[in-house]
Amino acid sequence: MGSEDTQSISRIEEHGDTVTVVTPSVQDFWHPDRKSVVSQEWPDLFVSTVRGDERVRVATATHVGDTDGFHIHGGNGVYADIPLVERELTEAEIAWCEDTFTFGGDGRPETLVEFEMPHPETLRRGAQQNDTDVAPALDARIRDPDRRHDILTSIYERIATEDFRATKLSRWKGYPIDLDPEWDPESSDNDDRDAAHLNDMVSMRKDAHLQDFRDVAGFEYRELFSARLRVLGVHEPWLEDRDLVALDVAGAEGWTYCRACGGIAPADRFLHVERRTDEDRTVRVCDDCAERNSRGYWTEDAVARAQDRRAQQEGGQRRIGGEYV
Residue 139: partners with Cβ closer than 8 Å, 6 or more residues away: 78, 79, 80, 81, 132
* 176 is a contact residue toward Zn ion (CB under 5 A): no
Q: Which of 59, 80, 245, 286 binds Zn ion (CB under 5 A)?
A: 286
DSSP conformation class of 274: E
* 258 is a contact residue toward Zn ion (CB under 5 A): yes
Q: Which is nearer to Zn ion, 38 or 289 (CB)?
A: 289
Q: Which is nearer to Zn ion, 24 or 262 (CB)?
A: 262
Nearest Cα residue to 290 out of 309, 272, 269, 314 = 272
DSSP conformation class of 122: H
Spatial separation of the C-alpha atoms in residues 74 and 145, rounded to whole Å: 7
Which residues in 263-282 contact Zn ion (CB under 5 A)? 263
Which residues in 2-21 contact Zn ion (CB under 5 A)? none
Q: Which is nearer to Zn ion, 183 or 270 (CB)?
A: 270
Q: How far is the CB of 258 from Zn ion (least distance, A)?
A: 3
Residue 227 and residue 220 in contact, taking contact as beta carbons nearer than 8 Å: no
Spatial separation of the C-alpha atoms in residues 128 and 122, rounded to whole Å: 10
Q: Which of 61, 89, 289, 306 binds Zn ion (CB under 5 A)?
A: 289
Q: Which is nearer to Zn ion, 142 or 271 (CB)?
A: 271
Residue 117 and residue 155 in contact, taking contact as beta carbons nearer than 8 Å: no
The one-letter amino acid at 56: V
Spatial separation of the C-alpha atoms in residues 199 and 6, rounded to whole Å: 53
The one-letter amino acid at 272: H
Q: Which of 260, 264, 303, 320 binds Zn ion (CB under 5 A)?
A: 260
Q: Which of 261, 271, 273, 283 binds Zn ion (CB under 5 A)?
A: 261
* 244 is a contact residue toward Zn ion (CB under 5 A): no
Stretch that binds Zn ion, among 17-25, 45-53, 86-94, 251-259 (CB under 5 A): 251-259
Task: Please work out the total of residues on this chain that contact Zn ion, with binding judged by CB under 5 A.
Answer: 6
Q: How far is the CB of 318 from Zn ion (least distance, A)?
A: 16
Spatial separation of the C-alpha atoms in residues 94 and 113, rounded to whole Å: 14
Residues in contact with Zn ion by the rule CB under 5 A: 258, 260-261, 263, 286, 289
